[in-house]
Structure 1
Amino acid sequence: MIDYSLLADVIEGPVTAMESGLTMTGRDVPVRGGVIRLREDSGYNESFALQWNRFKTNQIDAVNGTKLSHIRFSETGWTIDDLRRRKVLEAGCGAGRFTRILAESGARLVSFDYSAAVDACAENNSHFDNLTLMQCDIFAMPFKAGSFDYVFCHGVLQHTPDPKAAFMALASLVAPGGRISIDVYRKDGLIRPWKSKYIWRPLTTRMKPETLLAFLQWFIPKWLPLDTAIKRIPRVGTYLGSFVPCWNYFQTDLSREQKVAWAIMDTFDALAPTYDIPMRLEDVRQWFIELGWSDFEARPGGNGVVGNGRRPV
């Protein structure tokens, strides 16, 4: 569903419905599959389009029976009551694991993705009448400055060509007194097992995403039992098991089938994206300082660094 009253509040310029789509930002924009298409291809995020249309529901808590997405979302510090009827922007929705949480809050929600991953989000969440979906570029968003009460962007910034510029573009959309929550992979100069992906990415990012995914779908089910045995070794297991990339969820409550699927999905997620640009915690702090915001936090989080801030009134 498209909330035209919300679009009228947040879009630069008039918005007019047409039979084939709508007119906005001074041009005709098609609407297909319930998604407003400000761009027509997946560009540098082709791997995410493949990933999220292949693993559409794996991260939806209501489907996998866990609270993993809710736990991750809790790093915002926001409550459901905070969001109800508020204007909320989600940048980089993917298949919609967080879209579901935001939509269920009753927020007036606009979610977008750069790639055709938004089609998976539409399939998962289009039944929400408070959700408007777009395919657009984070560096070419059509929104008015200061038009959203909450802006959410987790798992996205490191996969853009310029994480800082992407953050600044999003921060400009926060209304006075509004809040933003972002996260980004952490660059800290320490040896960490998950960083082994950077040994392999010079090779894997040159592969066609379909070829890499096909290989992982063949390899991971065979390797996962041995990888699990290695990573169960006290103290050194996670390091011994890190050289061969395999994102292993043996310590979670996922079913055996889910653990295999998640291992394939997240190993692909680590090796395939065109961009993977981690940032220092100090860098994220400096972003908020440059904005002149004093009410913020930048701290370690489940995905690297979490940055939560409130724009001054």
Structure 2
Amino acid sequence: MNNSILEYFVCPVCKKSLQCRQNCDIIETGVLFCSECGRDYPVIRGIPRLLPDSLMPILAEQLSEDFSSFSFSYPIKKRNYRSDFETDDFIKKQISTMTAFGYEWNQFTEFTKEFTHNEYIRTLSPFPPDIVKNKIVLEAGTGAGIFIDWFDHYDASHIFGMNLGLDVESVNKKTSHLNTVTIVQGDIFHLPFADKKIDFVISHGVIHHLPNPEKGFQKLIPAVKDRGEIFIWVYGKDPIVPIIELLRKILHKIPKSITKTLSWFFALTLLFLKIVYLALNKIPGCKKLAKQVPYKQYAVRSFREMQCTIMDKLFVPVVNYYDKPELESWFKSAGLKN
């Protein structure tokens, strides 16, 4: 982590600025502390770990060896603040999500350049791909970091990629060659970014996995500069959703150690649909029929990328689906305009 970007961070609990105990330009291992509430946060392998009280003990367990080398002024065991919306069920879902995606994105780390660029262009449409040019970008939920290279390619000034779980480890390694990138471990509901500091906030395929998606969206807005932009992409509703949800409610409870194998078998369905779609497109007079094939948008994906899609839909604790009017109401309620 570069010390020069410290001005962008705040304590996720009291929202006051953070300071660094080290007097150096690059912080690989260190501590950021809040002079207001006294909480201190570790920087481990160059990643600031800015989690709220409800999740920091989980991280301390996951990285017990790393945490053992720190002497915290504000002991982890005494961090018991909860926001009013953090019910036991809410926190349980957050921890499950933190674990599920920490596993998924450390398993699926490599994607083809063609796929990532197609996904980038498709997601941001109808905006131009260089919408990030000369802008400070926050990707809230960067997953495997498939967009970060393209933010850099299209000349973003600086890119913050934030994940909730240990998937930050693989993304940090993947983007270590980019001087314009900072990977952060943080929570959307307790956003560790100062108000009105970010030009472009994007959350692609993340909001719908939150226990309270609309509140998560609302928590991102204060970070956006005046006349800045916020962009979200979520799963849309379609007739097959009830079947998918029925499967997910069963499958997300199975041990993580076998989800990757099971996702391989389910991905065969998407592969079959891809074959049908491509075959129909080659038959004269069948292009209209080809358009009726479900999930044809996945025809551009490799089998491994399809497997990752299955993991994202069936083996995670929370998934929500939306239509356009619902999302428009979020933006309207927040007073945002195109």
Equivalences for residues 195-210 of structure 1 within 5 A? 196-210=243-257
Q: Aligned partners of 1:54, 1:142: CA distance in 2, in Å?
A: 26
Which is greater in Rg? 2
Amino-acid identity (%):
22
Look up the match of 2:65. Answer: none
Q: Secondary structure at the match of 2:333?
A: helix
Q: Secondary structure at the match of 1:103?
A: helix
Q: TM-score, normalised by structure 2?
A: 0.71
Look up the match of 1:4. Answer: 3
CA deviations on 1:178-222 (whole Å, 9 max, x unpaired) are 1111111123xx52x4663223112112212222222233x3587
Letter in 2 for 1:288: F
Of 87, 112, 136, which residue of structure 1 is paired with 2:162?
Answer: 112
Equivalences for residues 255-294 of structure 1 within 5 A? 259-293=302-336
Judged with a 3 Å threshold, the aligned counterparts in structure 2 of structure 1 residues 277 and 226 are, in CA distance, closer, same or farther, namely closer
Q: Is the 8 A contact 2:274 2:299 kept in 1?
A: no
Q: Aligned partners of 1:140, 1:250: CA distance in 2, in Å?
A: 34
Equivalences for residues 15-164 of structure 1 within 5 A? 15-18=19-22, 20-25=29-34, 26-39=38-51, 40=59, 43-45=95-97, 46-58=99-111, 61=113, 67-75=117-125, 77-80=127-130, 82-104=131-153, 105-164=155-214
Question: How far is 1:277 from its partner?
Answer: 0.9
Q: What is the aligned length?
A: 276
Q: Aligned partners of 1:94, 1:126: CA distance in 2, in Å?
A: 16
Question: How far is 1:108 from its partner?
Answer: 1.6
**Quick check: 1:13 aligned with 2:40?**
no
Q: Secondary structure at the match of 1:88?
A: strand
Letter in 2 for 1:200: L
Q: Which has the higher contact order (CA 8 A, sep 6+)?
A: 1
Q: Aligned partners of 1:177, 1:224: CA distance in 2, in Å?
A: 41
CA deviations on 1:99-133 (whole Å, 9 max, x unpaired) are 22223323222211011111121121121111111
**Quick check: 1:184 aligned with 2:234?**
yes
Question: How far is 1:147 from its partner?
Answer: 1.8
Structure 2 residue ranges without an equivalent (≥5): 11-15, 52-58, 63-93, 281-285
What RMSD in Å do the two structures reach over aligned CA positions? 3.0
Judged with a 3 Å threshold, the aligned counterparts in structure 2 of structure 1 residues 109 and 290 are, in CA distance, closer, same or farther, namely same
Of 241, 247, 251, which residue of structure 1 is paired with 2:299?
Answer: 251
CA deviations on 1:238-271 (whole Å, 9 max, x unpaired) are 98x87xxxx787732x5xxxx2212222112210
Judged with a 3 Å threshold, the aligned counterparts in structure 2 of structure 1 residues 154 and 224 are, in CA distance, closer, same or farther, namely closer
Q: Secondary structure at the match of 1:97?
A: coil
31-40 or 156-165: bigger deviation: 31-40
Report the structure, 1 or 2, having the larger strand content: 1
Look up the match of 1:299. Answer: none
Q: Is the 8 A contact 1:56 1:95 kept in 2?
A: yes
Runs of 4+ in structure 1 off by over 4 angstroms are 220-239, 247-250
Judged with a 3 Å threshold, the aligned counterparts in structure 2 of structure 1 residues 222 and 274 are, in CA distance, closer, same or farther, namely closer
CA deviations on 1:55-101 (whole Å, 9 max, x unpaired) are 1012x52xx57632332343271543x53442221100111011222
Q: Secondary structure at the match of 2:125?
A: helix
Judged with a 3 Å threshold, the aligned counterparts in structure 2 of structure 1 residues 198 and 103 are, in CA distance, closer, same or farther, namely same
Q: TM-score, normalised by structure 1?
A: 0.76
Equivalences for residues 204-223 of structure 1 within 5 A? 204-217=251-264, 219=265
Q: Aligned partners of 2:190, 2:132: CA distance in 1, in Å?
A: 25
